[in-house]
Structure 1
Amino acid sequence: MGLAFEQSRRDSDNNFLILRLVAASLVVYGHSFALAAPCASCIDMFGTLFRYRYSGDIGLHIFFIISGFLVTASFCNRSSLIEFMKARLLRIYPALMVCSVLMILLGAVLTTYDQSSYWSSSETWRFWYLNFTLRGIAFDLPGVFQELKFKAMNGSLWSLAVELRLYFIVAIFGLLGAFRSRRITNIVLIAIVFLAVLKPQWIFFFSKAPENLRVAGFFLLGSLAYMNRSLIPMRWALLVVSVAIAAITFGTVLFEWFAGVTLCYGVFLIAFARKIQLPAILKDYSYGIYLYAWPIQQLIALNAPEWGPYAMFSLALPIAWALGAASWFLIEKTAMRLKRVNVFTWMRSTARNLVPRPSA
């Protein structure tokens, strides 16, 4: 039996929602070890126990695996490029725009600069422009968090620029007809993965940053999983075998590959296993959690510099969840309703209303 996606497109029929919420929480947990005071007795479950990447990386990998799967599905199941891009941009931009404005306002409260210098600084407006548009990423605001180990107002935003570029790659592949053929898609995506490993300088679209290529690789794994969904057997025994192979390769260059494939397979096993019933109030707060957790953790580090990772995580997580819920209900949910609006019909209707009608 392959991935049961055709019958499980909605969150009510699969476990993608809980996976996204867990992934967002893992990012908060992992970042606590970087942003809080050092703690010799505190351990990161993945980095220390499993000798794999730290928890924040695991959470981000899960996000990109799911995104690759669902975004590819979104393109293949939509009738037009415009509808696809509208859905993708509405998912990422409205909440990001609000978060960017709030971070600048928070920076104005926290900055050690006087207000005139803060608001006239090119660094402030560069932060707004790059993060607002995702043309690039700016991490710092003038005079903000300068006394901390990490000075970034929001160190999580870098992945959003990668995500946006991946949307465009999916759109280009779709326009070229690659998704009409499973064989062509497999050849192209696998070739890109090997190219990223052997000649990363050729993948200019993501810059030469290894973390950009790494998360893009997990997105491509998700895309491959969608294109081959009817061929992938869903067996827990196979996951055990995959874990064993990854363990055998530990300490070699193959470990990252096998561990990554194992994580990807595990994500889909959980996603399409028996539905885990969640309280009705739980919606997809994961994006808001991801957007707001880092600034919250920086505020904790600023006001409680002696706190270790566990203490920071225990306070940051519920606050991030609360802000994630607010982002979902006040911004993201409303923005997603606009996906049903036909752009050209709306433009024609607006233009018709703007033209004065002749009086009788």
Structure 2
Amino acid sequence: MVAVTPYSVPRDPLLGANHLTAIRWLLASLVALGHLYLLTTAYEPVRIHQWTGGYMAVNGFFVLSGMLIAKSLSFRGDLKAYAVSRALRIYPALIVLLLAFAFVFSPIFSRPGGIENVLSLETWTYVMRVLLLGDPQNAPGGIFAGNLEADFNGPLWTIRYEIAAYILAALGFAVGVLKRPVLTLCAFIAVQTAYLVLPYVMDVSILPTGFVPLLRLSSCFLLGMVLWHWPRARRPHWGLVALAIGAFLWLGSGFGGEFLATLALTGLMLRFGLSDAAHAPVVAIPDYSYGIYIWHYPVMQAVMFLRPDTGPLMLGLLSTPIWLSLSAASWHLVEKAALRLKPKSRPSANLSSPDAPHSVASNERTFS
């Protein structure tokens, strides 16, 4: 384990070499682990209280995303360049996945399948619906018919919330609200309170579809933005992390349990992801997390389509080498090439974090 890149004291790992890529790997793997069980038994046993590993991993992704997006907006003075960079991070790999849906998964892993599915208007309507941030559920053509879960790619539901968070964060910075630490904290408290309290004061089923998930993920995203504005909060003492974990283990089944779980998870991500010493082998890990997130589910579904009686262990043995290889190909052949097209960063004249050094790390990446 070799420390890389000397830093003057105090060192802010978020602005240099860190272990966040490894954290994203772990979060994506937690989502995949949960789906091994959901697709075979309809129950995810990896949970504490009612909060499953996959569910909390999504929260963790959004916390990291909020922190890194706030960093990006603070150092970028050009919102057009920011928008292009965000699109290049999400869309190229997503387009490849949807082309695979149209030309591979739909004709081969559907009942009925065949070339008719490739030529079907429904197939391409679905592709466009996902690209335009519509509902990714209920894919056409009998995709994975007979499976326990007959949908093409369940995890895609978070993509539109991620992009919505990018847009709202940019608007918040443009009007000056999310540039200010105190106002960002107030926004987080307001959204988090609404998410916690609304189910107790009204029937949330009458709200527009997607409103409650938007509150949930926005609160996580804003927590990450708060962490950007307060660098010292990104270095929580192990005692505070242990306190958050203990509070979650004790009180996590009741009111505010998800919030306690998110705080505990965030503390662990900060301690391990932004550690005092950045170790070269960990820093050098390629960022397959987005590929893992978008490819594991359809590959698992394809295996279940061909072998309906497969259990969780066998599903993992059969599918993991395939989706991991596709994730690697996505990163090396698609995502890295797209990221090289990102506009050059132009430092903003007004940094939002007064404690942050006036330099930008070259490894700015985010996903959820």
Q: Structure 2 length normalisation: TM-score?
A: 0.81
- Provide the residue aligned with 1:254 in structure 2: 256
Contact 1:285 1:325 in 2 (8 A): yes
Select between 28-37 and 135-144 the one with higher mean Cα deviation.
135-144
- 2:164 aligned with 1:165: yes
Structure 2 match to 1:44: 45
1:98, CA displacement in angstroms?
A: 0.9
Q: How many angstroms apart in 1 are the aligned matches of 2:132 and 2:15?
A: 30
After superposition, residues 20-35 of structure 1 pair within 5 angstroms as 20-35=24-39
- What do residues 69-114 of structure 1 show as CA deviations (whole Å, max 9, x unaligned)? 1111111111111111111111001110111111111212223236
Paired residue for 2:341?
338
Aligned-pair CA distance for 1:5:
7.5
Query: In 1, distance between residues paired with 2:225 and 2:153?
Result: 28
Change (3 A) 1:114 1:339: closer
CA contact (8 A) 1:19 1:62 kept: no
Which shows bigger deviation, 27-36 or 52-61? 52-61
Secondary structure class of the residue paired with 1:177: coil
Q: Which residue number in structure 2 is paired with residue 140 of structure 1?
A: 139
- Label 1:121 to 1:303 Cα distance change in 2 as closer, same or farther (>3 A): same
Instruction: Write the mapping of 1:15-94 to structure 2, written as runs, cut at 5 A.
Output: 15-37=19-41, 44-45=45-46, 47=47, 50-94=48-92
Counterpart mapping for 1:100-249 below 5 A: 100-106=98-104, 107-113=106-112, 115=114, 117-119=116-118, 121-199=120-198, 207-208=209-210, 210-249=212-251
What is the rounded CA distance, in whole Å, between the counterparts of 2:214 and 2:23 in structure 1?
22
- Structure 1 residues 17 and 304 mapped into 2: Cα distance closer, same or farther (>3 Å)? same
- The answer (yes or no) to whether the contact 1:221–1:264 under 8 Å persists in 2 is no
Q: Which AA in structure 2 matches 1:165? A: A
Deviates more, 1:305-314 or 1:63-72: 305-314
Higher-Rg member (1/2): 1
For 1:54 and 1:144, locate their aligned partners in 2 and report how far apart those are by CA, in whole Å.
27
Partners of 1:37 and 1:306 within 8 A in 2: no
Alignment match of 1:9 (pick from 2, 15, 22): 15
Change (3 A) 1:335 1:206: farther
Q: Deviation of residue 116 (structure 1)?
A: 6.5
Indicate which of 282, 307, 311 corresponds to 2:285.
Answer: 282
Contact kept? 2:23, 2:273, Cα under 8 Å: yes
Q: Which moved more, 1:144-153 or 1:216-225?
A: 216-225
For CA contacts below 8 A with separation 6 or more, give which structure has more relative contact order: 2
Code of the aligned partner of 2:156: L
Distance 1:30 1:36 in 2: 10
- Taking a change above 3 Å as real, the CA distance of residues 9 and 225 of structure 1, as seen in their structure-2 partners, is same
Question: Partners in 2 of 1:277 and 1:220 — Cα distance?
Answer: 30
Over 3 Å counting, the alpha-carbon distance change for 1:166 and 1:5 in structure 2 is: farther
Please say if residues 159 and 212 of structure 1, whose CA atoms lie closer than 8 Å, have aligned partners that are also in contact: no
Q: Is the 8 A contact 1:111 1:142 kept in 2?
A: yes
Taking only the aligned residue pairs, the percentage that are identical comes to 25
Report Cα offsets for 1:302-356 as digits up to 9, x if no partner. Answer: 12222211221233223222111100111110111111369xxxxxxxxxxxxxx
Cα distance change on mapping 1:123 and 1:239 into 2, 3 Å: same
Letter in 2 for 1:332: E
Q: Deviations over 1:165-189 (max 9, x none)?
A: 0000101101011233211121122
Distance 1:313 1:341, change over 3 A: same
Q: Is the 1:137–1:161 Cα contact (8 Å) retained in structure 2? A: no
TM-score by length of 1: 0.83
Residue of structure 1 equivalent to 2:318: 315
Count of aligned positions:
330
Distance 1:84 1:249 in 2: 40
Say whether the 8 Å CA contact 1:123–1:141 is kept in structure 2.
Answer: yes
What is the one-letter code of the residue matched to 2:103?
Answer: L
**Structure 1 residue ranges without an equivalent (≥5):** 343-360
Q: 1:349 — aligned with what?
A: none
1:119/1:180 Cα in 2 relative to 1: closer, same or farther (>3 Å)?
closer
Task: Find 1:328's aligned residue among 324, 328, 331.
Answer: 331
Q: Deviations over 1:131-188 (max 9, x none)?
A: 1232442441312211111111111110001101000010110101123321112112
Quote the Cα distance in structure 2 between the aligned partners of 1:187 and 1:285. Answer: 34
Alignment RMSD? 2.7
- Asked if structure 2 preserves the Cα contact closer than 8 Å seen for 1:23 and 1:62, the reply is yes
Q: Please state how far the C-alpha of 1:122 moved relative to its aligned partner.
A: 4.1
